[in-house]
Amino acid sequence: MPTSLLIVESPSKAKTLKKYLGGDFEVLASYGHVRDLIPKNGAVDPEKDFAMKYQLIARNSKHVDAIIDAVAKVDHVYLATDPDREGEAISWHLVEILNKKKLLKDKTAQRVVFHEITKNAVLDAIAHPRDISQELVDAQQARRALDYLVGFNLSPLLWKKIRRGLSAGRVQSPALRLICEREHEIKAFVSQEYWTVHLDSHKSRTKFSAKLNEFAGKKLEQFDIPDDAEQARLLAALQGHSAQVGRIEKKKKTRNPAAPFTTSTLQQEAVRKLGMTTDRTMRTAQQLYEGIDIGQGTVGLITYMRTDSVALANEAVEEIRSYITERFDGDHLPKNPVTYKNKSKNAQEAHEAIRPTSILRTPESVKAFLTADQFKLYEMIWKRTLACQMAPAKFDTTSIDIHVGEGVFRASGQVLVFGGFLSVYEEDVDDAEDEENAKLPLLEEGETLPVDKLYSEQHFTQPPPRFSEASLVKALEEFGIGRPSTYASIISTLKDREYVILDKKRFFPTDTGDIVNKFLTEHFAQYVDYNFTAKLENQLDEIASGQRQWVPVMDSFWKGFHKQITEKEGISRAEVTTESLDEACPKCGQPLSIKFGKRGRFIACTGYPDCDYTRNVGETAEQAAAEAEAPTVIEDRTCPDCGGELHIKKGRYGKFIGCANYPKCKHIEPLEKPRDTGVTCPQCKAGSLIERKSRYGKLFYSCNTYPKCTYATWNPPIAETCPKCQWPVLTIKTTKRRGTEKVCPQKECGYAEQIAPPEGKEAEA
């Protein structure tokens, strides 16, 4: 019979640990959080020192029951939830539940922490248990209470002033502000013209280019050649002169390896190099941390993946240096171990950077046991960790001035003379550095060169780029918005709420997101201010380190926030969602305004309902008039609701059929009849599945009796019964990794049968 119980968060982690600990231990999982605030107002009481009312999370109640039963049968309880504030809070909640059941009277319940799931790390943690850290619990409680108070007070205000179903959050709202402000910068950007002048020359067979850097003794800045006339004048002045080599400057340059991964840098690099979303990156990293069966048992392949520390354990550094010594030339190993400094002043030094649990476990040695995502991410972590302890790369750089008349052209080149860490991990370089990699011939001062070509190039300044997931994570970190463990959930929330869309891997704010941001920045500026958000995060860190008490921090926040919520109750919806235009309605002469409806922004007459004039934002009155003057009438059909004519109209999402008597009659239908798949709906068994488009243009398949039946699936359906669960419909799914498969749409089933292999695999086979 087991005498000890170890409680972890994840069931997959529980299986791994059970093998390490043997028969004296029972290992159970809490399946994440076990309690949460009651989902209604009053769960946090500011009048009673922010007392919090918790309830069991229903989906985890059976797991809590199993833990309660197991505790009654053992002598020792070890709480091995994740090594962060959330994990500490889960352990505290479990102890609270067990104390209420009076199960810990004669037993010990202690906290154990390990940052990697290896046998040595786990056994060492069990040998050195500690009490639950109340400071870490208080920090988590404060964060949860803050998020609750913001959500339960600000979100209902958004419902009243904009529309129902919206939400605001302590960290999601400043993140939305970043995206909206960048969009406003792009729209307000005025492009500026400038020119550059270039020289093409060669020596022997080596061709190279140089850029005009100076003219008539004056160094040229970006806008010193502003237009076509000036570039023509310069080219004319340079024509007919020979080229002569002037000053040659040679330098030695080194590039140091980057620090090992933190959560933030891992997410950024996975987005840039692997094309993985932040959410997908963290899910894959969690799998590598919790353990993979690599043929010799299950083992955690990386250390804990939620960290802002760049420190490495001494034993890990020793192992890495030993590996470098054995596999590389002596020049690749620095004399002393390379150390890195944390950029974040609140980085948790007790944590490590994300690294392989053993550098000896090479990516190729475990590739056969990993999925494609797991392998790509593990390989990137392994290479970055190895590279961080290697010698810097060395370059020879050359800059050459070439005189042509009164002009001085500059050519730059760079040659890698020692790869160092670059032989393992290639980092991204910026465009300027890329230009310096040009190959230059061996030249001498005073040497005359041929002028192959003199030419100019026109340029226009570009607006700042929209945020990608990688650059957004970087900005969140720089501004101190949230913490590494929350970046993926912040981005997911913004997408799920349809505040932003991701198009070509760049974030665009939707009309809804823009209006929500406008309301918050105008009326709750302090609470979406980047400095305020960062300051609050720092205060939470200080609570965790014991430097502050959590109740005074909460009280300071709540007094100002509650007062502002009360003051803003009187704002009308029109103030928030309507924007005046300096334009008269072409139909009745009254002013026009930009309004906000369920399909987004549109231009409408302020005289509604007496005047029904509307048009799309971005459409001119002339364009709208041309569209309205000659409506296309649907022949041989009338409106099924009122008997009026049916017209082809143009809306926010393209053309559609609508009643000519709008707005009195609001009948609409799609212009193109949806394609019927001929597959009977498996849910209602009355309708059939038809092809539709989402508001963002993505195809999906749903029942034609909607809204009576709400069944829908993203993948094309086929009328075949699942051989595993007998669901009457299968779907066709195609991915790069698995090719084309018949898949059961019931997630809990998991049935999949390959129809065609991935592209290129047939030839390999």
Tell me which residues are annotated as active site. 304
* Residue whose entry in the numeric block shows the structure tokens 């009122």: 642
Q: Which residues contact 365 (CB under 8 A, 6 or more apart)?
A: none
DSSP 559-619: HHHHHHHHHGGG--HHHHH-EEEEEE-TTT-PEEEEEEETTEEEEEETTTTT---EE-TT-
Angle between helices 11-21 and 278-290 (to 10 degrees): 20
**Residue 458 three-state SS:** strand
Q: What is the 3-state secondary structure (H, E, C) of 186-201?
A: HHHCCCCEEEEEEEEE
Q: Name residue 12's amino acid.
A: S
Q: Which residues contact 12 (CB under 8 A, 6 or more apart)?
A: 287, 290, 291
**Residue 698 three-state SS:** coil
**What six digits make up the tokens of 604?**
């409408």
What is the distance between the alpha carbons of residues 697 and 694, in angstroms, rounded to a whole number?
A: 5
**Residue 61 three-state SS:** helix
Among candidate residues 266, 231, 157, 166, the one with its CA nearest the CA of residue 561: 157
Q: Which residues contact 634 (CB under 8 A, 6 or more apart)?
A: 645, 646, 647, 648, 657
The DSSP bridge partners found for residue 680 are 688
What is the distance between the alpha carbons of residues 274 and 380, in angstroms, rounded to a whole number?
A: 9
What is the distance between the alpha carbons of residues 246 and 213, in angstroms, rounded to a whole number?
A: 13
Q: How far is CA 460 from CA 197, 224, 430, 511, 539, in A?
A: 14, 13, 19, 29, 45
- End-to-end, the C-alpha distance of the chain in Å comes to 51
Among candidate residues 615, 557, 616, 562, the one with its CA nearest the CA of residue 586: 615
What is the distance between the alpha carbons of residues 362 and 357, in angstroms, rounded to a whole number?
A: 11
Local structure of residue 41 (DSSP, 8 states): T
Q: Name residue 680's amino acid.
A: T
What is the distance between the alpha carbons of residues 151 and 56, in angstroms, rounded to a whole number?
A: 20
| Residue 508 contacts residue 501 (beta carbons within 8 Å) | yes
The DSSP bridge partners found for residue 596 are 601
Bond prior to 334 in cis (omega within 30° of 0): no
The DSSP bridge partners found for residue 739 are 735
User: At residue 579, what are phi and psi to the nearest 5 degrees?
Assistant: -130, 125
The β-bridge relationship of strands 193-203 and 108-111 is: unpaired
Among candidate residues 33, 95, 92, the one with its CA nearest the CA of residue 59: 33
Angle between helices 530-544 and 134-161 (to 10 degrees): 150
DSSP 328-341: S-GGGS-SS-----
Bond prior to 11 in cis (omega within 30° of 0): no
| Residue 733 contacts residue 701 (beta carbons within 8 Å) | no
Q: Name residue 502's amino acid.
A: L
**Residue 658 three-state SS:** strand
| Residue 115 contacts residue 42 (beta carbons within 8 Å) | no
The β-bridge relationship of strands 739-743 and 453-460 is: unpaired
Nearest-10 Cα torsion for 443, 446, 451, 452: -10
